[in-house]
Amino acid sequence: MNLKEELSRISQAVEIDEKKSHYKVSVEDPSKLIKAAQDLKSLGFDHVVSVTGVDYPDKIEVIWHVSSYSVEELKSINLALSVSVKKPEPRKEYDPNKRALVLKRPPVRVPSLVSVWPSGAFNEREAFEMFGIIFEGHPDLRYLMLPEDFYEAWPLRKDFQHEKMKVFLE
């Protein structure tokens, strides 16, 4: 199986560096994500290792790292499937509890891949609470680790701040 050929059929943007074991497939349009995931699954990538976001100033990149348990040739490969979505502008809103204007950072939306890879369910819940990525179609999208104090805090975004932080850093 020629992996490069197979992957370039799925998407135009394919990065392969075998020496560093770096394999990345980027999908531009979020609506084509599920199709790409199904194609990858039919190639033999059968489980999700990690789902994470990367926060850039203007966009959020969502990355699924997938690998294979069933196909012998693919067991050594760890492939990244990435999609980038534009971040909506943060806006100021009146918060009746704090009696002040607070900065609201609206979440972004991407389709969920739990229907293709059930192994990503907990990972997607974590990415949701940490980055504010709403996975549309996830059967059970709730907060996983953070207590209710962190409602819409999205702590792993770069603009997250908390009170203790002033003591020591930045």
Partner 1 sequence: MADSEGLIFLGNLEEVAKKALEFLNKKDFVKDMISWGVDFSLWPVHLMTSCCGAEFAAAASPRFDLERLGFLPFGGPRQTNLIVVEGTTTIKMARVVRRVYDQMPSPKWVIAMGACAMDGGIFFNSYNTIVAREYLPVDVYVPGCPPRPEALARAVLMLQEKIKKEKDALIGVKE
Partner 2 sequence: MSEKVYNLEEAATLSPSGEKYIVLQIGPSHPGSGHMRLVVWLDGDIIVKVDPDIGFVHRTSEWLSERREWIKAVPIVERIMLPDTIHANLSYVLAVEKLLGIEPPPRAQYLRSLAAEINRITSHLYGIGIFGIFLGSSTVYMWAFGDREPFLDLMEMLTGARITYSYIIPGGVRWDMPNGFKERAETVLQYMERRLKDYEDIWVKNPVVQARTINVGVMKREDAISLGVVGPNLRASGVYYDTRKHKPYAAYKDLDFEVPVMKNGDAYDRLLIRVEEIKQSIRMIRQILKDIPEGKIIADNIYNQLNPVMKKVYEEKRRVMFPAYMIHLRPPPGEATSMVEAGRGEIFFYIKSTGDKYPYRFRWVTPSFRNLPFFTHVAVGHRLADLPAIYGSIDYFPPEADR
Give the residue from 96, 100, 151, 105 showing the smallest Cα distance to 129: 151
* Residue 146 engages partner 2 in binding (rule: CB under 8 A): yes
Residue 39 interacts with which of partner 1, partner 2, none, CB < 5 to 8 Å by class: none
Give me the least distance between CB of 155 and partner 1, in Å please: 6
165 binds partner 1 (CB under 8 A): yes
| Minimum CB–partner distance for residue 113 and partner 2 (Å) | 12
Burial class of residue 112 (count of CB atoms within 10 Å of its CB; 0-12, 13-18, 19+): buried
Q: Is 145 in the site for partner 2 (CB under 8 A)?
A: yes
Instruction: Please tell me the distance from the alpha carbon of residue 55 to that of residue 115, in angstroms, as a whole number.
Output: 25
Q: Which residues pair with 44 in a beta bridge?
A: none
Among 20, 98, 99, 166, binds partner 2 (CB under 8 A): 20
Tell me which of 146, 151, 154, 157 binds partner 1, using CB under 8 A. Answer: 146
Least spacing, CB of residue 69 vs partner 2, in Å: 5
CA atoms within 13 A on the CB side of 55: 17
Give the span between the Cα atoms of 44 and 39, in whole angstroms: 9
Asked if 144 is part of the footprint of partner 2 (rule: CB under 8 A), the reply reads yes
Cα distance between residue 19 and residue 43, in whole Å = 22
Told to check if 1 binds partner 1 by CB under 8 A, we report: no
The interface with partner 2 within residues 75-134 (CB under 8 A) comprises: 75-76, 78, 80, 117-123, 130
Judge whether 135 and 128 are in contact, CB under 8 Å: yes
Residues lying near partner 1 in the complex (CB under 8 A) are found at 146-147, 149-150, 155, 160, 162, 164-165, 167-169
